Amino acid sequence: MKLFTTAKPIALAVTVSLMALGCSEQPTKPTATKQDAIDFVAEAEATLADLSVEVSRAEWIYQTYITEDTASLAADAGESFTATTVALAHKAAKFDDLELPDEVRRKLDKLKLALVLPSPLDKEKNAELAKIAADLGGMYGKGKYITNDGQVLSLPEMGQIMANSRDADELLELWQGWRQVSPPMRPLYQRQVELANQGAQGLGFADLGQMWRSNYDMPADDFSTELDRLWGQVKPLYDALHCHVRAELGEHYGTDLVPQDQPIPAHLLGNMWAQSWGNIYDLVGPENADPGFDLTKQLAHHQYDERDMVKAAEGFFTSLGFDPLPETFWHRSQFIQPRDRDVVCHASAWDLDNKDDIRIKMCIQRTGEEFAVIHHELGHNIYQRAYKEQPYLFQGSANDGFHEALGDTVALSVTPKYLKQMGLIEQVPDESADLGLLMKMALDKVAFIPFGLLVDQWRWQVFSGQITPEQYNQAWWQLREKYQGVKAPIARSEADFDPGAKYHVPGNTPYTRYFLAHILQFQLHRSLCQTAGDSGSIHRCSIFGSDDAGKVLAQGLELGASQPWQQTLEVMTGSKDMDATAILDYFAPLKVWLDEQNQGRQCGW
């Protein structure tokens, strides 16, 4: 399953007087008071709320119309917005020792952690960091590959071929071809790390990784321990899936190409990054487990176009009691890839005015997978709209994993029961046919979980200096092998920069949110199914049409980031703790089958 970002975009250059904000680089008076902090927060929040509207519009233009001019505007925008936010963050840090009302303290903390890439308090370095960020985004967005036979392919086109080809040589060519986009990023990325670390240190953090980990309402080290605990809950299921998939790929491609005691070659898993494996279901799925329908074919049979797919996803949310999308959504969103210009096709959800100007940006493919992706993206928009009445600094999710989890929680309800209610299939198959559906889901969801963990494990070690620039690629593949049991199909060197071939690295999007989302979505789904009164198997449950489930969702979403995520989770599930056992419950029938298949096989790597 693909996963996508929802962060407020950075854009337009707006001239702001930092002196007027009390954010001069001149020393402030040493006797800051409680009232000073309250006044500062109110003024800073109003300033950022105004800036963000124009900022988001410029970034939207850049991502939907990539040119040198829009890239320059985005760089200027990033510079201006970052300079303002950095200055405010430094000012916020000056109130750290004051005893303040909880809401004021939380807003100050949010302000300090608002930037993914904090720049140093230096105009030239801020401009340099903004330009690097824009350049890296442009390199990725404009990436193409010319095949050996002269065909020019975009990343979505390469992805489609990798999803369907079973020719190992062709898959290897595309895998190598896309990774030609990233080596030029390497020196820029190294410099970006240096500058962003300086910015994080200026805010009182050891490095940028510690700053990212501090955004989860618990000490940074405790958060790392929590991730390890959750991964430990899921790992036995992942190991069983890995063992079976490797054995079946060995049957198809031969054990010379897929040795049965080693990690799986990354190009054979149906996805450019081997992050999800659903596209190779035909090679590894259970025999005689056809659910009786192919959603991609059913969408075509019912003549669903891209807009129809979005309309269907909107209908799910309105069935839960949420308002329809505003008319501007339909006029302003990007649903298909334009023929006349470069765009960033990576799917994302946008809130441009902190009120009702919500949009999605996609290059929709008419597939069953994209049908679920659209539900995911609209989940972001519904969440954005739900917390619009919160103060600006609380207009966000309980933690960033919640934003990613919400849409996928709804997508878990895209079950045969739901598809029948939508008229896309004629009858719900018997539960005995669910093994295939569970395998397809596991190949997307369970296979993704270690990838969701390792991307930031790599970055955090880069930020801390544990991984030096001379080890970037080597360390990347060490982590891929450690967590995923996946290896590069050919020798890689430090002349390569394979992390940069994944959008979120040059795009500077923290990735742990996707790991958390995969834990939370099953936990939320299990709880909402109970709220909806569905006592059957949780993998068969759909909350479509449940007013009770919709009310619980709304109560949690409306809180935004106004309180620690543990409290929001308790509102939505009755528990303050994240719990991966819901994943084990969901896939319990599949785990039994996998264990049977793996008897006598050599598992592990």
Q: Is there a contact between 196 and 128 (Cβ–Cβ < 8 Å)?
A: no
DSSP secondary structure code for residue 542 in this structure: -
Whether residue 504 lies in the annotated active site: yes
Q: Which of 242, 380, 525, 539 is catalytic?
A: 380
Q: Is there a contact between 97 and 31 (Cβ–Cβ < 8 Å)?
A: no
CA distance 404 to 151: 35
DSSP secondary structure code for residue 482 in this structure: I
Q: Which of 377, 447, 488, 580 is catalytic?
A: 377
Q: Which of 90, 242, 346, 403 is catalytic?
A: 346
CA distance 510 to 399: 12
What are the φ/ψ torsions at residue 200 (nearest 5 degrees)?
-65, -40
CA distance 314 to 404: 17
Please name the residues in contact with 192: beta carbons below 8 A apart, sequence gap of 6 or more.
117, 129, 132, 133, 136, 508
DSSP secondary structure code for residue 334 in this structure: B
Comparing CA positions, the residue from 202, 157, 183, 82 lying closest to residue 499 is 183
From the CB of residue 149, how many other CB atoms can be counted at a distance below 10 Å?
6
Comparing CA positions, the residue from 462, 597, 3 lying closest to residue 191 is 462
CA distance 265 to 277: 12
CA distance 74 to 58: 6
Q: Which of 133, 404, 483, 532 is catalytic?
A: 404
Whether residue 90 lies in the annotated active site: no
Whether residue 514 lies in the annotated active site: yes
CA distance 164 to 327: 37
Comparing CA positions, the residue from 368, 367, 377, 361 lying closest to residue 317 is 377
Q: Which of 375, 504, 525, 539 is catalytic?
A: 504
Q: Which of 267, 375, 376, 518 is catalytic?
A: 376
Q: From the centroid of its chain, how far is CA 466?
A: 25
Whether residue 244 lies in the annotated active site: no
Q: Which of 140, 145, 483, 514 is catalytic?
A: 514
The H or E element containing residue 360 is: strand 358-361
Whether residue 347 lies in the annotated active site: yes
- 3-state class percentages of the chain: helix first, strand second, coil last, to nearest 5: 60, 5, 40
Q: Is there a contact between 175 and 272 (Cβ–Cβ < 8 Å)?
A: yes
Q: Is there a contact between 403 and 397 (Cβ–Cβ < 8 Å)?
A: yes
Which tokens in the block code for residue 396? Answer: 């966000």
Q: Which of 44, 313, 347, 561 is catalytic?
A: 347
The H or E element containing residue 330 is: helix 327-332
What are the φ/ψ torsions at residue 282 (nearest 5 degrees)?
-60, -25
Whether residue 377 lies in the annotated active site: yes
The count of residues in the chain is: 605
> What residues are annotated to the active site?
346-347, 376-377, 380, 404, 504, 514
